[in-house]
């Protein structure tokens, strides 16, 4: 697919300016949080730009699309929590031999990762101690290998006006790797109270219904 022909002038102007992971992350930070007031969404990168908002997977897909525009592979990583918490998706990039990640989140943690990680497991584990529920229980359990979004080119994932639920559905099916055994899970210590309080910091308040 010749993706260059599908970009609008506005998209080209914006994507050209976002020519580094730092600039992409800053752009993600400036987007409003998609609180899905009217129901669950999975916006394409085009719809993210049109709406000016995104939640975690939408932000990761947008970041991957920008990397694709600049000639890099559009890679995402799925972080899988236990049934007490939500999964998280980040966009991956590599500088030299080291991995980093871009992330959209409303919370003070689970954010950008500098490209200092030797492998995907190292990067995934960097989120472990920040990944806990309001009562301090640590919940991160598995991570996927990088998923290359080129596989969805025929479905027009970058430019679709429709929801692209096939991507999160695919993430539920890909191989994930356990990061803990049962004994380690049993012995996990809860986060400290000050960590729990810090974890409650958010960028935007949830809109009142």
The total number of residues written for the chain in this structure: 209
Tokens of 76: 């995402």
> Which pLDDT does position 163 carry in this prediction?
98
Q: pLDDT tens-digit profile of 74-103? A: 999 999 999 999 999 999 999 999 999 999
Encoded tokens for 85: 């918490």
Strand pairing of 140-144 and 176-178?
antiparallel
- What are the residue ranges spanned by the domains of the chain? 3-199
pLDDT higher than threshold 60 for residue 209: no
Confidence of residue 2 (pLDDT cuts 50, 70, 90): low
The 10s digit of each residue's pLDDT in 23-72 is 999 999 999 999 999 999 999 999 999 999 999 999 999 999 999 999 99
Give percent helix, percent strand, percent coil of the chain, each to the nearest 5.
35, 20, 40
Tokens, residue 28: 């993600």
The 3 state secondary structure assigned to 111-157 is CCEEEEECCHHHHHHCCHHHCECCCCCECEEEEECCEEHHHHHHHCC
Integer Rg of the chain from CA: 17
């Amino acid at each position: 697919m010749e993706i260059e022909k599908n970009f609008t002038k506005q998209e080209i102007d914006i994507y050209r300016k976002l020519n580094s992971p730092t600039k992409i992350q800053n752009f993600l930070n400036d987007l409003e949080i998609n609180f899905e007031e009217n129901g669950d969404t999975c916006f394409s990168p085009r719809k993210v730009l049109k709406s000016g908002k995104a939640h975690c997977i939408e932000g990761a897909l947008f970041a991957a699309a920008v990397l694709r525009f600049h000639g890099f592979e559009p890679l995402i990583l799925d972080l899988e929590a236990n049934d007490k918490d939500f999964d998280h998706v980040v966009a991956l990039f590599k500088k030299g031999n080291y991995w980093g990640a871009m992330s959209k989140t409303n919370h003070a943690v689970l954010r950008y990762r500098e490209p200092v990680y030797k492998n995907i497991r190292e990067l995934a584990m960097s989120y472990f101690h920040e990944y806990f529920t309001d009562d301090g229980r640590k919940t991160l359990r598995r991570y996927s290998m990088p998923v290359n979004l080129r596989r969805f080119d025929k479905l027009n994932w970058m430019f679709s006006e429709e929801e692209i639920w096939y991507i999160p559905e695919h993430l539920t099916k890909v191989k994930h790797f356990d990061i803990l055994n049962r004994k380690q899970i049993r012995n996990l210590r809860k986060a400290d109270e000050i960590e729990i309080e810090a974890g409650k910091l958010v960028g935007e308040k949830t809109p009142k219904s």
